[in-house]
Every structure is written in structure tokens, then in C-alpha cells.
Amino acid sequence: MSAQDGVDPLVKEELLEKDRKYVWHHMSAHNENPMIIASGEGSWVTDIDGNRYLDGMSGLWCVNVGHGRREIAEAAADQMMKIAYATLVQSHIPAIELAAKLNEWLEGEYRIFYSNSGSDANEVAFKIARQYHHQNGKPSKHKFISRHRAYHGNSMGALGATGQAQRKLKYEPLGVGFQHVPPPYCYRCPFGQTKETCSLQCAKAIENAIVWEGADSVAGVIMEPVITGGGMLVPHDGYLPAVRSICDKYDVLLIVDEVICGFGRSGKPFGHQNYGVRPDIITMAKGLTSAYSPLSATAVSAELYDSFKEKEATSHFRHVNTFGGNPVSCKVALANLAIIEREGLVERSAEIGQAFRVRLEPLNEHPHVGEIRIFGSAMGIELVEDRKSMIPASVERVTHLILACKSKGLLVGKNGDTVPGYANILTLSPPLSSTDEDVNFII
Ligand code: PLP
């Protein structure tokens, strides 16, 4: 599509006027002239002026199968005509089929609790963890350990777990009981170590936090397999297994947030499968439906679920949400997972990452590139003022680059807010269905 195919300028002006007057944009200052996306096909989106962009972030790390999938739309329409709504106080066919399908994707046996968003899925995980300890004879276990730079959602508990100060400013106090430890940020190791001297102090920091807080007060540790939005911080291979052992030692639950890393993004079905660990609770959203419809899930190990089967009046999980596990969304998820399986998109994700790794290698010599970090098909490029000093690139430099990419037809993301010294990591996470031409275009 070329720029001539855009809408009439008068129609556009009218839309913009309504947008300026009525729409409150997410996570951004008031924008008088936002890009208005009108359509999408594969890895590309088109704005109302008819300009095409490669959606290098799959929206917000979520459109894993790419845009314009008719079979997903047809699955939704079909389900709407059968039954658009049924509660999960009872059950319905798409929820049953999807829970079974998710168990194929997960290693081990998990119960699936459905919600609407990644934030919801994490809130559910926290409540389940606390209730589990209550019912398992350890009612004082209520705190959660998380990491600085992590993002786990926007609601009071999930934002409490989040370790990005600029996102919390003006909203505190948030959910209580969340403690933060330094992240496994090897490029700028918080413990001053190098690859050669690393002895996983970042994992030991979790053990220290548990001991200092008192193991009897700690319910769980929450982490993404790789911190994504906080800067694509790929840990040492031994990190997640070490955290698993620490959790086992202190009877602390390991909650793995797969909201971004799940559904093929990491080159495996789920991110934690790259590290050979079995979490107690796994939260998921985004790629579950490739964002064609809102849905999230909290997968809870069968052992944990057992304690919710007791016969006391309060021993079941007393949590409901009206839309969670909506039949249409579950059907959309099933159609989405069928595409990922049929087209081998988990493997494709690894291929895309490998192409980035090999072909962007020369960028490692660039004076403003500190480090390139890749996990599956997600990539972070840490920008610096110069390689030696490692001073984070200025906000101006990063903004300039993002706008330059956009002017060439590529949408890229960055970590965090526009805070000097923090938002210096460009992120890319294109649809897993990206073609070789799409990947070439990005490179
Ligand atoms: N967890 C992670 C790792 C995320 O990146 C996000 C959102 O970006 C969330 C949770 C929250 O998901 P949602 O925006 O669907 O509430």
C-alpha cells in the first residue's frame, strides 16, 4: 500500500479532533498527533495515511502470529454464534480444550485459572500463593521477592512486584509485601563481577532476601525467565536453576511470569524451558491469543492445586472475574496455538534470533552499541555514549534513533520511560511469522 491509499484528509482531521478530545493514551504524555493504525497484514501495519511500518515489537510484544489471520477471526465468529459467554463457575468447551492444550505445551501437570490480562494473571498467582501457604500450615508466609527493573503489570499488587521506580511514582503505596533484589544484569553486573568471575551473586541475593526477611514470611519469588521490558537482561544459564533450588530450600514458591517469554517468543514453547526448571506457578497472556482477544492464564502445579480441594468452606480459591476465560477468547487462543504449531513458529522464533545474532554481529563494534542481547526472537540493543565508559546513551540519542527507524518504516521499542540513564535499550520483538524479507528489512 502506498501513501495515496490513506483516508481523506478531512476524515483524518475529524478523527484526530475526537482523539484529542476523548482518548486518554496509554503510558504517554498527551499527544496531539498520534499515529492512527488502520490495518495490518503479517508483520506489517498501515496507518490511516496509508504509510506501512514493520511492526518490530509485535504491538506490545504480543502479536506472535502476525496480523490479519482470518482463521482466528472465523474461530471467534463461530464461537460467538454458538455461545459468546458462559461463566467458569461452571465450565465450557473452549476453556476445557484450551486448558488441556496448555498442558501439552507445559512440561508437567498444571491447573489453569483464566483471567483477562497479564496483570490479572500475576494478581491471581499472588493470591493463590498466599492461600496455599495458609492452607499448608504456614499462614505467615505472605511476602514476594522480585527484582529491580522487572515489570509485572499495572494493578496495585503487580505494580508492587514491579521493580521500576518511575512507573510507581505518584501511585504508592502499592500492594504490600514486595521486596526487590538486584537483577541479573551481566553487562552492568550489580555485584561488580565479569563473566569470568561470576558466581551467581544475583541468585544468592534472593537467598539473602529470604533469610533477612525471614523464610517464614516469604511466600514466593516472581520472575520472568529473561527481564524483557526492563532491558532484555539475559541471565547466566545457571541463574534460574539456582533460584529454583533456593525456593525449594525455603519452601518458597517459584512464580515464572511468561507473559512475554511464552508462546514461542524464547525459541521454546515457554521461556523457562530454556533453563530446565519446573515453576510452581506460571503466568501467561499476550501471545496466548496473539492479542486477537484479551485472555490470560495462571497455571498452577497439580501439587499446589491439591490443597484447594479440601472441604472447608474457605479452602477453594475465592476469586472470580466476569470475563476471564471468555469462550470466544479461549477459542481464539486455540486457533492461535494451532497456527503456531502448524507453521512451526516456535522454531521460527529461534531462527529469527539466530539471524539477528549472526547478521548484527558487526554492530558489536559500533561506538554506540554496548551490547546486543537476544532471547529467542526478542532482542535488546543497549546503547551507550561510548563503549569504553559504558555511559548510557542519552534520551535524545535514543529518541533520535527510534524516530529514524520509524521514518524508514520500522517500529522499534525501548525499555522504560524517558528517564536519563535508564531508557537506553532499544527492543525488537517481531511477529514469529516474520518472513526472511521482513527479517532482512529489520537488519
Ligand atoms: N508481565 C510482563 C512481563 C509484562 O511485560 C506485562 C505487560 O507488558 C505484564 C505482566 C502485564 O500484562 P498486561 O499489560 O496484559 O496487564
Tens place of pLDDT per residue across the chain (443 aa): 344 478 999 999 999 999 999 999 998 888 888 999 999 999 999 999 999 999 999 999 999 999 999 999 999 999 999 999 999 999 999 999 999 999 999 988 999 999 999 999 999 999 999 999 999 999 999 999 999 999 999 999 999 999 999 899 999 999 889 999 999 999 999 999 999 999 999 999 999 999 999 999 999 999 999 999 999 999 999 999 999 999 999 999 999 999 999 999 999 999 999 999 999 999 999 999 999 999 999 999 999 999 998 778 889 999 999 999 999 999 999 999 999 999 999 999 999 999 999 999 999 999 999 999 999 999 999 999 999 999 999 989 999 999 999 999 999 999 876 565 678 999 999 999 999 999 999 99
Q: Calculate how far, in angstroms, residue 282's C-alpha sits from the geometric centre of ligand 1.
A: 13
- Give residue 204's identity as a one-letter amino acid code: K
Whether residue 134 sits in one domain with residue 29: no
Among 316, 342, 368, residue at a domain's last position = 342
Whether residue 172 sits in one domain with residue 25: no
Q: Calculate how far, in angstroms, residue 82's C-alpha sits from the geometric centre of ligand 1.
A: 31
Among 295, 327, 342, residue at a domain's last position = 342
Whether residue 431 sits in one domain with residue 321: no
Residue 36's domain spans which residues?
A: 3-64+344-442
Q: For the domain that residue 202 is a member of, what is the CATH number?
A: 3.40.640.10
Residue to probe by mutation, ligand 1, list 60, 156, 259, most atoms within 8 Å of CB: 259
- CA–CA separation, 342 and 420 (whole Å): 44
- Give residue 391's identity as a one-letter amino acid code: I
Q: Calculate how far, in angstroms, residue 259's C-alpha sits from the geometric centre of ligand 1.
A: 6
- CA–CA separation, 297 and 101 (whole Å): 13
What's the structural domain count of the chain?
Answer: 2
Q: Calculate how far, in angstroms, residue 197's C-alpha sits from the geometric centre of ligand 1.
A: 33
Q: Which residues of 227-253 are buried (b: 16+ CB within 10 A; e: fewer)?
A: bbbbbbbbbbeebbebbbebbeebebb
Residue to probe by mutation, ligand 1, list 286, 295, 375, most atoms within 8 Å of CB: 286
Whether residue 91 sits in one domain with residue 139: yes
Q: Calculate how far, in angstroms, residue 13's C-alpha sits from the geometric centre of ligand 1.
A: 33
ipTM (interface pTM): 0.99
What's the grid cell of residue 292? 486477537
Residue that is written with C-alpha cell 521460527 in the block: 348
Burial class for 189, CB neighbours closer than 10 Å (0-12, 13-18, 19+) = middle
Whether residue 266 sits in one domain with residue 254: yes
- CA–CA separation, 43 and 330 (whole Å): 23
Instruction: Provide residues with CB under 6 Å of ligand 1.
Output: 60, 117-119, 122, 151-154, 224, 228-229, 257, 259-260, 285
